[in-house]
Chain A
Amino acid sequence: MRLKILVAVCSTLLLQQLAYAHGPKPTSLKNAPLPELPAGLIDGTSPIIVNQQKAIILGKALFWDIAVGSDGIACASCHFHAGADSRITNQLNPGHKNPAASGETFEATASGSTGGPNYTLTHNDFPFHQKDDPFNNASPVIWNTDDTAASSGTFSGDYNSAPRTGDINDECTRDPDAVFHVNSVGTRRVEPRNTPTVINAVFNHRNFWDGRANNTFNGSSIWGDRDTQAKIWVKVNSRKVKHQKLALINSSLASQALAPPLSDAEMGCRQRTFEELGRKLLYRRPLDQQKVHHQDSVLGGLSNSSEGNSQPGINTTYQTLIKQAFNKKYWSYRRIGPFGGKDGELPYSQMEANFAMFFGLALQMYESTLISDDAPFDNAIFDDKTLPTNLGESVRRGALAFEELHCNACHSGPVLTSNAISTNAQILEANSQAFGLNVDQSGVDGVAINRNIVNYDLSTGSRFFDTGFANTGVQAANTDAGVAGTDDFGNPLSFSAQYAEYLANPSYQIIDSLAGIEKIKSCNFQSLFASNGFLPPSLTITNYFRPEDGIIPDPNGNSNCYNSSSASFIPNQTVAAIELANPDSKKMSFATQAAFKVPSLRNIELTGPYMHNGSMATLEEVIEFYARGGNFNNEFEHNFIAQNGAIASNTASAIQKRADLVAFLKSLTDERVRYERAPFDHPQLTIPHGHLGNQTEVTNGNPLDSSLAIDNTLVLDAVGANGRETPIATFEQLLTP
């Protein structure tokens, strides 16, 4: 019997190694399933959304309308370029996520400039961390900054009120910001993290770099179940309305949408609310100051434009679109009083009180149409090794190198991110070999098919980490907590922390109650967590729970398991509690610190700058970063982030392999995105892009307040379904030398 167990465990470990060598293969995104829609959203006897097309129209209008922000910032102002932000002026943040003092101060740039507000980035400013030998992370650091390249947004201010017609700017008390100013003149504030693309974001289980956009949408905040006060108003009849909870799974996009309009770094003045935003917008004509192309794929039918005569706005109001898109029980209660209000003003209506829900779900419906699945790689012919045969030798070699170098361990599945939990699982449920290996041969696939939202991996030193999040050592681990951060209520963002607490504490109430933490299967962890088997001395895995420690069978079983049944165990609660309380624990520790969402690589050619801190300008810099094994070795870093001799040199072979990887990445660019063809077409948009002047002097006299700098602007023309004639540029092309 012992021999059988030994054979089983050894076989498992050998298979693990095999899997590490190959793992899931990149595949076409065409026909990939979207995350399952939550029950009751569009189905059932009384769905929330009664007209999906109207909801998409509403979402697109809201996404692109500059009236949504407090001072002319639309959602699209930071997501206008392949779904991301390619602006180069006034995009620096001092590193606000860094708790150290340097997080509040701007630093000089690598090119020798003073940097700071209203600075125009140049090619020589990148990357933000430079080694003497770019292929050796042990070589001396010749440049480092905790400043980040992100997106400039609002001047912000203290919110007072908002006009319901005409002027799009809120009435706020505005003064020059304490951090964002040049001399004494206020400049627009800048986000602390790089703007990720909204294209294909629907596949993400959680959004934002730290995953705080909850998978569950509660209708009134980004926090899902965590926000116990979050409720929506539901009409019972003409004389009764009730306040009830909403919990829509797979709706991280809706959760995400509720953050920027109230953020004083992105779009809003402080103390702004969604009720006030609703009051501002409801009777307005959408996009009233922005031209809408007569062939806009979504808005064209309502536009005032015709061929050769482009006009602003669409022929409806936001209120009308809400009535058309949403079930009347969320807006038709006419009485006022239960919904609160401001002194001296009419109390809010039900439609205003539920505006956050309409806003979030409409944005989600629109962004769910922004699926980029028509890149050359999506249409390639694949050989029996699942490598593309008709995209050129370099792309083929690059796809192979992508596997050999283990990029696919995190950038897995057709979306090229393990964060696409639902989609990856659905694909593997239909075909357990869809990614090349069977689910019991590939740890990544095993995690994916069981929707294990937490993993435990030897490659992180036997630590828990959230599936779809990884520490790659871009910055020092204490610079930005990432998914190890907390929410507004002091709770951990990570699922890993919740799972560990769940094992250790019988009375623990899981914070994200619908996330599936109680369904996690230990047998699918990529490293042994608890086992009733034993390991030969030649294998050095020691940090797992053994029978003598006190283990119990995992109640979630071992179906579709990557590890053998001998690994389908968990520590009993007493043991788990002791281990969790041990600060030096080697069995229940975490690799969530400075771990960030694994981004999709689709259209990556167009979405620079890269990384959560925007610290790299080109794909070549990114490949260099991985070649040298990251910037900052740290205990939480994923083990695959290690210097790789195959690409970490200037030998002809390494140069070729790096070029092949870039070629493969460029084969992921969808020409519809490059040319802004439907569904990526858009209305006209004027975006603040720095201020009149430079980083040492700006001109005051902004119409919002004379103490603020005058905006320079970037104007995007309205584009119809057929797209633009010229391609959009890469971030590198937009940078000055």
Chain B
Amino acid sequence: MMLSTTNQDQKALTSLKVKNFMNKLHKFLFLTAISSLYGIQTAQATSTFQSQSSVSISIDNITNNTNTGDYSSLDIYGLFEPSYPIKIITGDADSNKSYTSSEIDSDIAAVSAGDSFNQIFNSSGNANNGGNVEAFYEALGSLEFINNSSDSFTIEYSLNYILNAQVTGDHATNTIAIGYGNILTDINWDEWERGDVYLDASASTEIPFLNDGISATPSFSLTLGAFESNLFYADVSITSYAEALAVAPVPAPAAGWLMLSSLVFLRNYRKAG
């Protein structure tokens, strides 16, 4: 079926469009009036950053390839520990900045198949009226495997992470990063990029489209030879910066005029309607 419109339809459509437009204009002017009032009272600016993340490490399966079912010679330790220094905060006078971050549980836990352990990393801060705040926050997550025998073990484990970073205000940047991989602790730490993975979520008030919000659940399988040890690490760091301009208030006469003219127009429009 073909649709067609008559002149009458066109007029009705045009009228509808005008009404819609005026409704939108009405709303716009109302908002303008309110926001102009806000302008009178704006005395300082604020910039903020927030980070949220969750990291979980799970042991999914363990197999003794030499003596089936015997796990007595395999030690596994899971740990989230604060880095040193765990956090560094710099910036202007305290009155112009704030910063908070979640605490890290640094208890070492012996884990076995089916176990998992996790950690939440949150941080936030803000700078006000000419102040600035800069913070670095880091925690080290690890799963250490120690084979005390000549047996061979295959261990399957997985990582689950969610990273978020946001900023608001004049100028702020925020990057939350995770790096994970394996290190053969009994050989050396000098080999570059043994499966090292780096990912970050970042936000910046300068560029609105930086990536924010990443998550994944990579899984791994590791064969541990006789008397070998190995460490899987999953480290999270957050680097944040906020700087707030000292903004002079909008001149009251200008803001007041804008509010007044908007309200007068609204009143007249309603009368005419």
Contacts and interface: CB of A to CB of B under 8 A. Distances in A.
Interface of A: 46, 163-166, 234-240, 242, 283-285, 288, 315-317, 320, 328-329, 332, 334-337, 344-347, 349
A237 B88 contact: no
A332 B198 contact: yes
Nearest to A334: B237
Nearest to B180: A238
Interface stretch (B5-13, B187-195, B249-257): B187-195
Contact of B171 (A166, A237, A240, A349): A166
Interface in B119-145: 134-136, 138, 140
B206 A238 contact: no
A334 B179 contact: yes
Given A166-B245, A236-B190, A239-B140, A335 B83 contact: yes
Given A283-B173, A335-B138, A345-B134, A238 B196 contact: yes
Contacts of A337: 85
B15 interface: no
Contacts of B181: 237-238
A346 B136 CA distance: 8
Given A239-B140, A346-B134, A347-B88, A317 B206 contact: yes
A236 B191 contact: yes
Given A285-B206, A328-B198, A336-B136, A237 B193 contact: yes
B218 to A, nearest CB: 15
Contacts of A320: 207, 210
Interface in B150-194: 170-171, 173, 177, 179-181, 183, 189-194
Contacts of A166: 171, 245
Contact of A238 (B85, B173, B235, B243): B235
Residue with the greatest number of chain B CB neighbours at <10 A, chosen from A46, A165, A284: A165
A434 to B, nearest CB: 42
A317 B205 CA distance: 11
B171 A346 contact: no
B179 A332 contact: yes
B239 interface: yes
Nearest to B170: A165
Interface residues of B, number: 37
Nearest to B183: A237
B206 to A, nearest CB: 5
Contact of B207 (A239, A316, A334): A316
Contacts of A237: 179, 181, 183, 189, 191-194, 196, 233
B80 interface: no
A590 B171 CA distance: 58
A165 B198 contact: no
B90 interface: yes
Contacts of B135: 346
Contacts of A284: 206
Contact of A346 (B88, B189, B192, B235): B88
Contacts of B243: 163-165
A315 B177 CA distance: 22
25 contacts: A163-B243, A235-B192, A236-B189, A236-B191, A236-B193, A237-B191, A237-B194, A238-B180, A239-B183, A239-B233, A240-B189, A315-B207, A316-B207, A317-B206, A320-B207, A329-B193, A332-B198, A334-B138, A334-B177, A335-B83, A346-B88, A346-B135, A346-B136, A346-B239, A347-B88
Query: Interface of chain A, helix or strand or loop or mixed?
Result: loop
A283 B134 CA distance: 13
A285 B237 CA distance: 24
Interface in B219-241: 233, 235, 237, 239, 241
B239 A234 contact: no
B49 to A, nearest CB: 12
Contacts of A347: 88, 136
Contacts of A315: 207, 209
Nearest to A165: B171
B204 interface: yes
A164 B241 contact: yes
Contacts of B193: 46, 235-237, 329
Given A165-B170, A238-B198, A347-B88, 14 more contacts: A46-B192, A46-B193, A237-B181, A237-B194, A238-B181, A238-B233, A239-B183, A240-B189, A316-B207, A329-B192, A334-B177, A344-B90, A346-B88, A346-B135
A345 B183 CA distance: 32
A89 to B, nearest CB: 35
A337 B237 CA distance: 13
B192 A234 contact: yes
A242 B180 CA distance: 18
A335 B237 contact: yes
Contacts of A239: 140, 183, 189, 233, 235
The 4 tightest CB contacts between A and B, nearest first, are A238-B179, A334-B237, A165-B171, A332-B198
A80 B85 CA distance: 46
Given A332-B179, A335-B138, A349-B239, A283 B192 contact: no
Nearest to B207: A317
Nearest to B234: A238
B167 to A, nearest CB: 10
Residue with the greatest number of chain B CB neighbours at <10 A, chosen from A163, A237, A240: A237
A345 B90 contact: yes
B89 to A, nearest CB: 8
Contacts of A164: 171, 241, 243
B242 to A, nearest CB: 10
A455 B140 CA distance: 59
Contacts of B189: 236-237, 239-240
B195 to A, nearest CB: 9
Contacts of B170: 165
B132 to A, nearest CB: 9
Nearest to A317: B207
Given A238-B233, A335-B138, A283 B179 contact: no
Contacts of A234: 192
A692 B179 CA distance: 54
A237 B233 CA distance: 10
Residue with the greatest number of chain B CB neighbours at <10 A, chosen from A234, A239, A329: A239
Contacts of A335: 83, 138, 235, 237
A163 B241 CA distance: 12
Contacts of B134: 345-346
Contacts of A163: 243
Residue with the greatest number of chain A CB neighbours at <10 A, chosen from B85, B198, B241, B243: B198
Nearest to A282: B173
Contacts of B88: 336, 346-347
A258 to B, nearest CB: 25
A166 to B, nearest CB: 7
A347 B181 CA distance: 25
A242 B196 CA distance: 15
A283 B245 contact: no
A328 B83 CA distance: 22
A52 B237 CA distance: 29
A304 to B, nearest CB: 11
A536 to B, nearest CB: 64
Contacts of A283: 173, 204, 206, 241
A35 to B, nearest CB: 28
Contacts of B245: 166
A337 B88 CA distance: 10
Contacts of B191: 236-237
A269 to B, nearest CB: 21
A346 B196 CA distance: 25
A334 B239 contact: yes
Contacts of B206: 165, 283-285, 288, 317
Nearest to B211: A320
A328 B196 CA distance: 10
Nearest to B171: A165
Contacts of B210: 317, 320
A202 to B, nearest CB: 30
Interface string B238-273: 010101010000000000000000000000000000
